[in-house]
Amino acid sequence: MTPNEPTNRYNNLVVFLVFTMLMAVQGLFAQQDAQYTQYMYNTVSVNPGYAGSRGHLSIAALHRSQWVGLDGAPVTQTVNVHSPIGYRGVGLGLSVINDKIGPTSETNFDIDFSYTIYTSTEGRLSFGIKAGGNLLDVRFSELNQFAPDQTLAQDIDNRFSPNFGAGVYYHTQHFYAGLSVPRFLETSHFDEASLSTAKERMNFYFITGYVWDLNPFLKFKPALLTKAVTGAPLQVDVSANFMLNEKFILGAAYRWDAAFSGMAGFNISNGFLIGMAYDRETTDLGNASFNDGSFEVILRYDFIKTKGNLKSPRFF
């Protein structure tokens, strides 16, 4: 441990607590984008500043089935790949998100670019931009209309709309925090004369977490995700995970006024992680006989090149 490390950890802890309290008392907003329980392993999908921050090529794939048993419930898949490239401080990434809800399907694809500066011997601050587009399918023909509406007579097939976003991400070996808006353009997918319910809005993401080394074999990481969008309540996810022997991960999460979650993970090798999560809603929907909860699985592989002493897997 270096002489400045205790001070650095104390400062990071203070920042973590301040950020958490500030975000907890902000105004009323909520999420509109796809929802994840294992957001801590899927950061680059929402924050381009994360691209390349793992220090090597990293590939992740996630599948989420929400409200299993409910016909037309959300189903989401994400695939992302990112890596630092040859120029100092530059990271590149690619993200693809497919989200299906009832008769609608959306595919978002983005190219991520980040630039990182050193703020201290341990701290890294990254600035990221995201550029891409959205493909929208709406199958009105699958709807059972009791009173046929001419505005719903024609399906929408692969309607394209461009978008861009930005984010900042700061991390050390034990602390991270990020703020991002993945999509700035508030695109309306329908003509004003017909429908206006598919207008996208800016979603604001704030993430933070801190890793404590409780002993040489056990790590503890509390984390926070806040998503905000105008016109709906603030969404806050609080989680706590333990890692044993750099291999086994076990934790729980609470989505404010919405769901409890259980999480488990396993580092199959130093670069290969598998994680699973199960959500149980605390709303009336969670008590419905047709709702078996929400399931999520993620696979992540890091192409680690061994040079000198191999570092243990980073917990975020």
Compute the 3-state secondary structure of the chain and give helix, strand, coil in percent, each to the nearest 5.
10, 50, 40
Average pLDDT of the chain, as a whole number: 82
Tokens of 44: 């680059």
Asked if 116 and 52 count as a contact pair (C-beta separation under 8 A), the reply is: yes
From CA 123, how far away is CA 179, in angstroms rounded? 16
User: By CB neighbour count within 10 A (0-12 exposed, 13-18 middle, 19+ buried), where does 272 fall?
Assistant: middle
Q: Which residue has the tokens 């990434």?
A: 93
Write out pLDDT tens, residues 248-282.
999 999 999 889 999 999 999 888 999 999 999 88
Higher-confidence residue of 170 and 151: namely: 170
Cβ-based neighbours of 46, under 8 Å, separated by 6 or more: 33, 39, 167, 180, 182, 205, 207
Write out pLDDT tens, residues 156-191.
777 899 999 999 999 999 999 999 999 998 876 555
User: Which one-letter amino acid corresponds to residue 270?
Assistant: N
Q: Tell me if residue 98 falls in helix, strand or coil.
A: strand
Asked if 107 and 134 count as a contact pair (C-beta separation under 8 A), the reply is: yes
From CA 311, how far away is CA 304, in angstroms rounded? 10
Write out pLDDT tens, residues 287-316.
666 778 899 999 999 998 765 444 556 788
Judged by phi (left if over 0) then psi (alpha if -120 to 50, else beta), residue 127 lies in: beta
User: Average of pLDDT values for 223-252?
Assistant: 92
Write out pLDDT tens, residues 56-70.
999 999 999 998 888
Residue 25 reports pLDDT greater than 90: no
Write out pLDDT tens, residues 122-149.
899 999 999 999 998 887 666 665 655 5
User: By CB neighbour count within 10 A (0-12 exposed, 13-18 middle, 19+ buried), where does 310 fall?
Assistant: exposed
Q: Residue 276 CB: number of other CB atoms within 10 A? A: 16
Q: Point out which residues pair with 81 in neighbouring strands.
A: 59, 94
Asked if 16 and 213 count as a contact pair (C-beta separation under 8 A), the reply is: no
End-to-end CA distance of the chain: 21
Q: Which of 45-59, 188-202, 206-220 has the lowest mean pLDDT?
A: 188-202
Banded pLDDT at 20 (limits 50, 70, 90): very low
Residue 246 reports pLDDT greater than 80: yes
What pLDDT shows up at residue 150?
A: 54
Q: Residue 48 CB: number of other CB atoms within 10 A? A: 34
**Per-position b or e across 157-181, b if 16+ CB within 10 A of its CB:** eeeeeebbbbbbbbbbbbbbbbbbb
Of 257, 311, 235, 273, the residue nearest 30 (C-alpha): 235
Asked if 293 and 310 count as a contact pair (C-beta separation under 8 A), the reply is: no
Of 316, 82, 49, the residue nearest 168 (C-alpha): 49
From CA 166, how far away is CA 55, in angstroms rounded? 20
Write out pLDDT tens, residues 65-123.
998 888 888 999 999 999 999 778 999 999 999 999 888 889 999 999 999 999 999 89
